[in-house]
Structure 1
Amino acid sequence: MKNISQILFFAFSIPFFTFSQSFTNIDSLLSDAKSSRADTNKIRTLERIWKYYLDNDTDKSMEYANQVLNLSKELKYAKGLGLGHLYRGAIYSQLSEFEKSSNEFKKSFEIFKGNDLKKEEVLATSNIARDYFFQSKYDSAVYYNSITEKALIALGDSLKLGSTYLLNSSIYLEQGYFQLSLKNGLKSAEIFKKLGDEVGYAKGCYVVACVHESLNNRNEALKYYYESIPIFKQYNSNYTLALAYEGLTILYNKEPFQKDSAEVNIKKAIALAEEMKDSILLTTSLNEFGNIKFLSKDFENAERIYQKSLAIANEINSGFSKQILLLDLGELYLQKKEFNQAINYSMQALRLCDSLEIEVGVNRSFEILYQANKEKNNLVDAIKYLELQKEKSDSIYGKETKNRVNELQTIYETEKKEAALALQEKEIQTLNQEVEISNLRKGLYAGGMASALALSGLLIFGFRQRMKKNRIAREKQEEIYKQEIAHKKKELASQTLHLVQKNTFLEELKENLENLKSSPDKFKMEFRRIVMLLKKEKASDKDWETFKTYFSEVHNDFDQKLKTLYGDISEKEIRLAAFLRMNLTTKEIAATLNVLPDSILKSKYRLKKKLGLNKETDLTSFLNTL
């Protein structure tokens, strides 16, 4: 299965340039460039030639970007100089030479900024943000995109602002910040809709659908996919249309599996990919087609389609697609009980995922290798891969937990900034009103003009000084608070992860070790020793006390509030309430407390009753209000 970064990379990989001129005759442009004298008009002609060659001959495109740069240096034309670096950056970006492209874009940004070229600054920062996004450097992408956003708001350029929110949505989605991604995707779609940009609106809907798909909001995802598809059809936007068909296929491949709907959509995506001769799109579409056959237990056709897709991925050297297909084939051979083949393909995938630093792929490789070796009764290897898989799961889960905390922090900071901006606007409005009153007085009392102006000036100066002083004090305090809360949240996330994962790992490992009882004698003594050690490693009261300390610091003495409001609440019930407030699932809580999920459901029911909540009130939502 492909992930969103691959989709969005190709959906939004076109640099942020717009050209009002259209042209059909490149020969005419080349002739004009040769015959015209060295001035800014010639630079504009060279720009149009650069744009023509950008999509089909990068060497020629670079030649004309350099001509723009050299002629602008000769004419000491700052705007052309910045654009020359911008055009070179666009070429390097298209070639995925991101270190070079970022360097060129930053040069253009400095030139535009130094010459107060606000509109051109936006071109530079937006391209820098996209470059960082393509390199998975999401914090840097967000930083430069926020610069772009502020500049566009100041310029009143709503159309480009819609594209900025679209990129924001894509960045947050890749980070797993689903609420922020959804918010930005909806803002983008709304802006494009108001401006009558139907394709932009459809792209916004597409990204919103991807978010809902990630959140397993099936109906919402379907709604937004079907909103975008007719528009992509109308405007012959075949690439994004194919992506939307793939998205629908992924949804129909999930539970409840709808084979017929999935096949209808993926065949449309494959036909479009073949029509466009897009190898990357074709390999991902075939991969989804193979998934349909796999889910239908048609293993023969699934294998044939996976192998065809893998051949294309090898041909274009798409490492990301290759690792997915190798793992899909590993799972396929595992189901066919061809365990040596399963191990072979999983080992290939593991090496590739290691080199590409794809943690999810590494984790999936370990899981298949564990299952295949267990089926072959290679217990030593099976346990080794089980331990590696659990270790990698811990790492991934830890990052997901950290992402949850980071997203909440980002939402908090965003809301705080919005509130500060609103307050600032109100203060400015108040200041303007004072100035207007001062002017009115000046007109009515001409004799007191000098004193009125002096008083108004003093008021404004004093008001601004107070604003500055208060802002500095507030920012210092907020920075101290932010550092403290970040540390406490990090420790809390670490303790939560420790409690959730510890018993799950130990129980599964213990279960596998117990299977060694019937194995050769050399395992007997080792088995007894390890089981004794495992029993000692059960989550202790000390773990809970450490967790409770950090939890109380982050959540404002939550346990004391509960005890004050509900005097008869037990320590076990407080522990359950804390885990619910952390948004842990019933399964995670059960693993932490070493009980069955049904036991947690009963405990939740009893806790809800003790808190005096009615059936309509959600327990977790209520606890989050305390």
Structure 2
Amino acid sequence: MKITVIFFISLFSLLLINSCQSSDNNDYFYNLNNYVSAEYTNYNLTNIRTQYNKELAKYKKTGDKKYILSSKYIELFLYYNTDTRDILNQIPLVYELLKLNNDQYEYISIACNFRLALNMEQNSPKFAMQCLNEAIKMDEKVGKKYFLPHLYHTKGRFYYNEKNYSEAMIYFKKALETYKIRKDDEIFIASMYNNFGLCFNKLNKQDKAIQETLKGIRILEGKKNLNKEDLLFITNMKENLSEYYLKLNDYKNAELFLNQGFEFYQNVKQYNSEFMSISKMLFNLYNSTHQNVKKNNLVSFLLGIESKIQHVSNKIILYEILQDHYLEINDHDKEKMSSKKVIHLISLYNQQKQKDLAQVSDLLNDYFIKNINQKYDYKVSIQKKNILLLFVSSLLVITILALAFINVYKKNKKEKELGEGQKLILEQDLQLHRNKIEKLHLSLNLKIETEKAFLENLRQIKKSKNIDPEETVKDLFFKINNLIQIDKKHNDIINESSLENKLFMEKLSHRFPILTIQELKLCVYFKLNLSSKEISLLENIKDVTARVYKTNIKSKMKLDKETDLTEFLNNLV
């Protein structure tokens, strides 16, 4: 039985250790993510690559699965871009990471589902929401809030894209509350106020939209040591702010914030989609306010950087601006050329989109097929484990039952042997008592007969006149000596049981404290089944007195007349 207890204690300890190790490894991935994210924010891809090599080297040295997972996780950051090429490179890597992890570490499962949700947002919104909900469910269950505010933020954005602005606001608020609890970077808190502004704008509440966006700008500008990411996001919020002012026909403030954004991207020489969006808004504003000089300067600048604009969608915006400009100045040749360029670029863009969509579709189909196979393999594996567990459990139960049976058998056998030994001892003890009582009876009978003879001799002496005195005295002395020897014998018999009698009297006194010492002593004789006459001889009392004592004792013990006192006293022992 001890072995069984030790087995269960060891099993519990092992599960506890595994649970603690899992938690520690989750924190390991969390801290690693914080380091790599900070390096990515500062565009230190070299440091990210170095850390990737370190994790890979740890795996090769130790063979620990944790490090192959960490190296694959860092590899994701090397493709961390919104470009379609990078997204397509990420998806197989995310699936591979999910398969390797197999739900062992919650952090990896949450991160991979989150990354899939982001990658599939445009091409498969329903699947993206499914992955996002799975990530939220796991992160809420773990309780560490590894990605939870970002997950709420993303779900709010999904609802925003679906034009469900009230639901979007709910999740933006949940994200904001969690960011504040975690005391996250100001950029995350500022982004929630920016999102509130976006929702209010869609609800045609531009005043509230401006108020919330300005709050976000003030929070982020109040941060010490702004990095490039902070500055980019401030510029993005100012771009949104300019759109709200435009809707209110406040061209002055709209132009102010658009120019700040334009100058920022111009200084950092980053001609991305945000820059092209600002350029188009400025072009339209200059048209509406008839600022032709500024508009011409803008067009000239855009023509100068045409070769530096790489992405097809950004080039489409560029040539749409040029097309509108040439149309306004009646330069039909350039307007036709720009139109053809726009049509060609849109065609290229659609082709690339279809190609990317087909690749994403293939990846999804491949994933679903693999996922189905994996689930089937998992079910088979679970069934095997359950069968093995059932077998081990059955074996354990049989072993426990066998041990219990053996223990019970040994215990019963020992008790039986002990019982037989005790029975034999009791029988011997009982026989010994019977012998003592028999000797006592014989001794008392002999004493009675001797006393009768002694009394008879005295009577004869009294009647007879011709008796030799010396012979008579000698004969009387002989009989008295016999009486003394008889008393000595029955005293020896009684003394042999003196300790036993003492214990019996103590027990009887405890049970019946009302009994006197003399009554307790007489109970010893009654237990030995001595008659009143025999007791009177032993105690030098009249036999009628012994009978009175017996009646009083039964009365104090509350025994009825029919109850045999000797039997009662022996059963009491």
* TM-score category, normalised to shorter length: 0.5 to 0.7
2:156 matched to 1:209?
yes
2:202 matched to 1:233?
no
**What does residue 365 of structure 1 align with?**
318
- Structure 2 distance, partners of 1:194, 1:89, is 25
- Structure 2 distance, partners of 1:216, 1:443, is 60
- Structure 1 distance, partners of 2:271, 2:90, is 23
- Structure 2 distance, partners of 1:436, 1:17, is 28
- Structure 1 distance, partners of 2:301, 2:137, is 45
After superposition, what is the alpha-carbon deviation per residue over 1:559-590, rounded to whole angstroms, capped at 9, x for unaligned?
xxxxxxxxxxxxxxxxxxxxxxxxxxxxxxxx
After superposition, what is the alpha-carbon deviation per residue over 1:386-434, rounded to whole angstroms, capped at 9, x for unaligned?
2211222222233334444444444433332222122112323444566
**Further displaced range: 370-379 or 143-152:** 143-152
- Structure 2 distance, partners of 1:314, 1:176, is 32
The answer to whether the Cα contact below 8 Å between 1:323 and 1:353 also exists between their aligned partners in 2 is no
- Structure 2 distance, partners of 1:18, 1:394, is 48
Q: Give 3-state SS (helix, strand or coil) of 1:325's partner.
A: helix
Shift of 1:322: 3.7
**What does residue 375 of structure 1 align with?**
328
Indicate how the Cα distance of structure 1 residues 199 and 260 shifts in structure 2: closer, same or farther if over 3 A, else same: farther
Indicate how the Cα distance of structure 1 residues 443 and 232 shifts in structure 2: closer, same or farther if over 3 A, else same: closer
1:147-186 equivalences in 2 (<5 Å): 147-153=96-102, 156-173=104-121, 176-186=123-133
Q: Give 3-state SS (helix, strand or coil) of 1:357's partner.
A: coil
2:281 matched to 1:328?
yes
- Structure 1 distance, partners of 2:69, 2:392, is 38
Q: Give 3-state SS (helix, strand or coil) of 1:307's partner.
A: helix
Indicate how the Cα distance of structure 1 residues 217 and 362 shifts in structure 2: closer, same or farther if over 3 A, else same: farther
The answer to whether the Cα contact below 8 Å between 1:353 and 1:361 also exists between their aligned partners in 2 is no
**Further displaced range: 271-280 or 345-354:** 345-354
Shift of 1:270: 0.7
Tell me the TM-score normalised to structure 2 length: 0.56
2:234 matched to 1:282?
yes
Tell me the TM-score normalised to structure 1 length: 0.51
Indicate how the Cα distance of structure 1 residues 407 and 213 shifts in structure 2: closer, same or farther if over 3 A, else same: farther
The answer to whether the Cα contact below 8 Å between 1:132 and 1:138 also exists between their aligned partners in 2 is yes
| Paired AA for residue 112 in structure 2 | T
The answer to whether the Cα contact below 8 Å between 1:367 and 1:389 also exists between their aligned partners in 2 is yes
**What does residue 116 of structure 1 align with?**
63
Q: Give 3-state SS (helix, strand or coil) of 1:133's partner.
A: coil
**What does residue 269 of structure 1 align with?**
216
After superposition, what is the alpha-carbon deviation per residue over 1:486-538, rounded to whole angstroms, capped at 9, x for unaligned?
xxxxxxxxxxxxxxxxxxxxxxxxxxxxxxxxxxxxxxxxxxxxxxxxxxxxx
- Structure 2 distance, partners of 1:269, 1:439, is 61
Residue from 170, 176, 193 that aligns with 1:245: 193
**What does residue 386 of structure 1 align with?**
339
- Structure 1 distance, partners of 2:312, 2:264, is 24
Q: In the comparison of the two structures, how many residue pairs are matched?
A: 366
The answer to whether the Cα contact below 8 Å between 1:112 and 1:118 also exists between their aligned partners in 2 is yes
- Structure 2 distance, partners of 1:193, 1:420, is 28
Shift of 1:267: 1.0
Aligned Cα RMSD in Å?
A: 3.8
The answer to whether the Cα contact below 8 Å between 1:222 and 1:248 also exists between their aligned partners in 2 is yes
Q: Give 3-state SS (helix, strand or coil) of 1:134's partner.
A: coil
1:123-138 equivalences in 2 (<5 Å): 123-134=70-81, 136=83, 137-138=86-87
**What does residue 301 of structure 1 align with?**
253
Shift of 1:441: 11
Shift of 1:170: 2.5
Q: Give 3-state SS (helix, strand or coil) of 2:353's partner.
A: helix
**What does residue 423 of structure 1 align with?**
376
The answer to whether the Cα contact below 8 Å between 2:40 and 2:77 also exists between their aligned partners in 1 is no
Q: Structure 1, unaligned stretches of length 5 or more?
A: 1-15, 22-50, 52-82, 446-626
- Structure 2 distance, partners of 1:219, 1:406, is 34
Shift of 1:289: 0.9
The answer to whether the Cα contact below 8 Å between 1:131 and 1:141 also exists between their aligned partners in 2 is no
The answer to whether the Cα contact below 8 Å between 1:129 and 1:142 also exists between their aligned partners in 2 is no
The answer to whether the Cα contact below 8 Å between 2:217 and 2:237 also exists between their aligned partners in 1 is yes
1:518-529 equivalences in 2 (<5 Å): none
| Paired AA for residue 161 in structure 1 | S
2:293 matched to 1:345?
no
Indicate how the Cα distance of structure 1 residues 112 and 306 shifts in structure 2: closer, same or farther if over 3 A, else same: same
**What does residue 499 of structure 1 align with?**
none
- Structure 1 distance, partners of 2:192, 2:393, is 60
Indicate how the Cα distance of structure 1 residues 100 and 413 shifts in structure 2: closer, same or farther if over 3 A, else same: same
- Structure 2 distance, partners of 1:439, 1:244, is 54
**What does residue 581 of structure 1 align with?**
none
| Paired AA for residue 310 in structure 1 | F
Indicate how the Cα distance of structure 1 residues 392 and 96 shifts in structure 2: closer, same or farther if over 3 A, else same: same
| Paired AA for residue 172 in structure 2 | Y
- Structure 1 distance, partners of 2:26, 2:231, is 26
Shift of 1:365: 1.6
- Structure 2 distance, partners of 1:442, 1:123, is 40
| Paired AA for residue 185 in structure 1 | L
After superposition, what is the alpha-carbon deviation per residue over 1:168-202, rounded to whole angstroms, capped at 9, x for unaligned?
323333x6443333222222222111122347322
Indicate how the Cα distance of structure 1 residues 213 and 409 shifts in structure 2: closer, same or farther if over 3 A, else same: farther
After superposition, what is the alpha-carbon deviation per residue over 1:43-101, rounded to whole angstroms, capped at 9, x for unaligned?
xxxxxxxx9xxxxxxxxxxxxxxxxxxxxxxxxxxxxxxx9xx9998886454243673
The answer to whether the Cα contact below 8 Å between 2:243 and 2:254 also exists between their aligned partners in 1 is yes
- Structure 1 distance, partners of 2:385, 2:351, is 50
The answer to whether the Cα contact below 8 Å between 2:26 and 2:105 also exists between their aligned partners in 1 is no
**What does residue 535 of structure 1 align with?**
none
| Paired AA for residue 193 in structure 2 | Y
Percent same amino acid among aligned pairs? 12
2:88 matched to 1:139?
yes
- Structure 2 distance, partners of 1:280, 1:359, is 22
| Paired AA for residue 87 in structure 2 | Y
- Structure 2 distance, partners of 1:20, 1:355, is 38
Indicate how the Cα distance of structure 1 residues 375 and 195 shifts in structure 2: closer, same or farther if over 3 A, else same: same
The answer to whether the Cα contact below 8 Å between 2:55 and 2:70 also exists between their aligned partners in 1 is no
- Structure 1 distance, partners of 2:50, 2:303, is 33
2:144 matched to 1:197?
yes
- Structure 1 distance, partners of 2:155, 2:127, is 11
**What does residue 517 of structure 1 align with?**
none
**What does residue 440 of structure 2 align with?**
none
Indicate how the Cα distance of structure 1 residues 202 and 343 shifts in structure 2: closer, same or farther if over 3 A, else same: same
| Paired AA for residue 294 in structure 1 | L
Shift of 1:349: 4.2
Shift of 1:263: 0.9
Q: Give 3-state SS (helix, strand or coil) of 2:249's partner.
A: coil
Shift of 1:259: 0.7
**Further displaced range: 428-437 or 125-134:** 428-437
